[in-house]
Amino acid sequence: MPLDHLADQELLRELCQQTLAFENHSFQHYRTYLLDLLEGTNDERQFAAERLTQVVYTDDVIVGMLLANAQTANAGVRTASTQALALIDRKAE
Protein backbone atom coordinates (compact mmCIF):
# COMPACT_ATOMS: atom_id res chain seq x y z
CA MET A 1 0.00 0.00 0.00
CA PRO A 2 1.41 3.45 -0.86
CA LEU A 3 2.77 5.48 2.03
CA ASP A 4 0.21 8.28 1.64
CA HIS A 5 -2.61 5.74 2.01
CA LEU A 6 -1.09 4.49 5.26
CA ALA A 7 -0.86 8.03 6.58
CA ASP A 8 -4.46 8.67 5.55
CA GLN A 9 -5.61 5.50 7.31
CA GLU A 10 -3.75 6.46 10.47
CA LEU A 11 -5.30 9.94 10.40
CA LEU A 12 -8.76 8.46 9.94
CA ARG A 13 -8.16 6.03 12.84
CA GLU A 14 -7.11 8.92 15.11
CA LEU A 15 -10.12 11.02 14.08
CA CYS A 16 -12.48 8.12 14.79
CA GLN A 17 -10.96 7.61 18.25
CA GLN A 18 -11.28 11.32 19.03
CA THR A 19 -14.87 11.36 17.78
CA LEU A 20 -15.80 8.40 19.97
CA ALA A 21 -14.21 10.04 23.01
CA PHE A 22 -16.10 13.27 22.29
CA GLU A 23 -19.40 11.42 21.85
CA ASN A 24 -18.95 9.52 25.12
CA HIS A 25 -18.09 12.77 26.91
CA SER A 26 -21.16 14.48 25.44
CA PHE A 27 -23.47 11.60 26.34
CA GLN A 28 -22.24 11.68 29.95
CA HIS A 29 -23.07 15.39 30.20
CA TYR A 30 -26.45 14.83 28.51
CA ARG A 31 -27.23 12.07 31.04
CA THR A 32 -26.49 14.46 33.92
CA TYR A 33 -28.70 17.12 32.31
CA LEU A 34 -31.59 14.66 31.90
CA LEU A 35 -31.23 13.42 35.49
CA ASP A 36 -31.52 17.01 36.71
CA LEU A 37 -34.65 17.51 34.61
CA LEU A 38 -36.18 14.27 35.94
CA GLU A 39 -36.31 15.98 39.34
CA GLY A 40 -37.72 19.26 38.01
CA THR A 41 -41.15 20.55 37.09
CA ASN A 42 -43.73 18.36 35.38
CA ASP A 43 -42.80 19.89 32.02
CA GLU A 44 -39.10 19.23 32.63
CA ARG A 45 -39.74 15.66 33.77
CA GLN A 46 -41.91 14.95 30.75
CA PHE A 47 -39.31 16.48 28.39
CA ALA A 48 -36.54 14.36 29.94
CA ALA A 49 -38.58 11.16 29.79
CA GLU A 50 -39.43 11.83 26.14
CA ARG A 51 -35.74 12.33 25.36
CA LEU A 52 -35.00 9.04 27.09
CA THR A 53 -37.03 7.29 24.38
CA GLN A 54 -34.54 8.66 21.86
CA VAL A 55 -31.27 8.28 23.76
CA VAL A 56 -31.37 5.19 25.94
CA TYR A 57 -29.48 5.04 29.22
CA THR A 58 -30.03 1.77 31.04
CA ASP A 59 -28.25 2.40 34.33
CA ASP A 60 -29.96 1.93 37.69
CA VAL A 61 -30.13 5.65 38.47
CA ILE A 62 -32.01 6.53 35.27
CA VAL A 63 -34.30 3.51 35.62
CA GLY A 64 -35.04 4.41 39.24
CA MET A 65 -35.92 7.99 38.33
CA LEU A 66 -38.16 6.81 35.51
CA LEU A 67 -39.87 4.29 37.81
CA ALA A 68 -40.57 7.06 40.32
CA ASN A 69 -41.86 9.37 37.59
CA ALA A 70 -44.05 6.58 36.19
CA GLN A 71 -45.99 6.76 39.48
CA THR A 72 -46.69 10.50 39.34
CA ALA A 73 -50.14 12.01 39.09
CA ASN A 74 -49.20 13.99 35.95
CA ALA A 75 -50.39 12.00 32.94
CA GLY A 76 -47.78 13.38 30.53
CA VAL A 77 -44.89 12.56 32.86
CA ARG A 78 -46.36 9.14 33.66
CA THR A 79 -46.86 8.25 29.98
CA ALA A 80 -43.43 9.45 28.84
CA SER A 81 -41.71 7.65 31.73
CA THR A 82 -43.59 4.43 31.02
CA GLN A 83 -42.64 4.62 27.33
CA ALA A 84 -38.97 5.18 28.20
CA LEU A 85 -39.03 2.21 30.59
CA ALA A 86 -40.62 0.00 27.93
CA LEU A 87 -37.87 0.94 25.50
CA ILE A 88 -35.20 0.16 28.10
CA ASP A 89 -36.84 -3.24 28.71
CA ARG A 90 -36.79 -4.00 24.96
CA LYS A 91 -33.10 -3.04 24.75
CA ALA A 92 -32.30 -5.39 27.62
CA GLU A 93 -33.74 -8.41 25.81
What per-residue confidence (pLDDT) applies to 36?
97
Does the structure show a pLDDT above 70 at 1?
Answer: no
The structural domains of the chain, with segments of one domain joined by +, span 3-92
Architecture of domain 3-92: Alpha Horseshoe (1.25)
The span from the CA of 81 to the CA of 89, in Å, is 12
Residue 40 pLDDT level (bands cut at 50, 70, 90): very high
Report the mean per-residue pLDDT for the chain.
94
